[in-house]
């Protein structure tokens, strides 16, 4: 891999449906013009994210039954909504919904970023603020979705499946001798 973080947007993405992997083209990309339904869905997701990410502040203000605390909560939600942007960390699937190739791509990206940070004398735990963590997660996600990392992940998973099949065959032969 090169010394620079790869940030190209993938042109395709793997999904698994009923145990079968499908490679589909990525439909949305920077600069994509949304139709009315896409805009509504994206706006709804944005609103839900703002709500979910600020609910504890509003609840704390309501529980205090204190007008100043509630005013602070309202100001915090308004400020958060004004600056909130989707990032890779907020848009990814859960680890359990990832294909083996996606899991391997995430692993490769994390390994690479860990090495680059170590070369600078840093560790993941040095990123303490939410903003720093979001930037780090976004960089890892972009790298994990890059074409080069996806191809390497596919090769590794295919090799592991081949090795597992060979081991299973060898074990079956051993059992036949018993």
pLDDT band, residue 152 (cuts 50/70/90): very high
**Average pLDDT estimate for 4-21:** 68
Tokens of 138: 């976004």
* 93: pLDDT strictly greater than 60: no
Question: How far, in Å, CA of 46 to CA of 57, rounded?
Answer: 18
- What per-residue confidence (pLDDT) applies to 9? 60
Better-scored residue on pLDDT, 44 or 71: 44
- What per-residue confidence (pLDDT) applies to 67? 60
* 68: pLDDT strictly greater than 90: no
Task: Tell me the torsion sign for CA atoms 64, 68, 71, 75.
Answer: negative
DSSP string, the chain: --SSPP-PPPSEEEEEETTEEEEEE----TTPPP-HHHHHHHHHHHHHHHHHHHHHHHHHHHHHT-HHHHHHHHHHHHHHHHH----HHHHSPPGGGS-HHHHHHHHHHHHHHHHHHHHTT--GGG--SHHHHHHHHHHHHHHHHSHHHHHHHHHHHHHHHHHHHHHHHHHHHHHHT-
Return the minimum-mean-pLDDT range out of 13-17, 23-27, 45-49, 161-165.
13-17
- What per-residue confidence (pLDDT) applies to 147? 87
Distance of CA 34 to the CA centre of its chain: 23
Check: CB of residue 99 under 8 Å from CB of residue 21.
Answer: yes
Look up the pTM and report it. 0.46
Better-scored residue on pLDDT, 114 or 129: 114
- What per-residue confidence (pLDDT) applies to 37? 92
- What per-residue confidence (pLDDT) applies to 4? 46
Distance of CA 155 to the CA centre of its chain: 21
């Amino acid at each position: 891999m090169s010394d620079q973080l790869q940030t190209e947007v993938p042109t395709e993405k793997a999904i698994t449906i009923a145990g079968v992997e499908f490679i589909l083209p990525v439909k949305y990309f920077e600069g994509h013009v949304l139709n009315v339904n896409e805009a509504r869905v994206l706006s709804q997701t944005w609103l839900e994210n703002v709500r979910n990410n600020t609910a504890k502040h509003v609840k704390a203000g309501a529980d205090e039954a204190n007008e100043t605390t509630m005013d602070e909560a309202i100001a915090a939600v308004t400020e958060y909504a004004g600056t909130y942007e989707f990032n890779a960390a907020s848009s990814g699937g859960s680890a359990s919904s990832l294909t083996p190739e996606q899991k391997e791509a995430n692993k490769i990206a994390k390994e690479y970023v860990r090495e680059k940070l170590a070369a600078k004398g840093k560790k993941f735990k040095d990123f303490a603020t939410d903003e720093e963590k979001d930037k780090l997660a976004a960089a890892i996600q972009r790298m994990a979705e890059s074409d080069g990392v996806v191809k390497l992940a596919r090769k590794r998973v295919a090799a592991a499946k081949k090795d597992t099949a060979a081991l299973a065959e060898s074990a079956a032969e051993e059992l036949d001798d018993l």
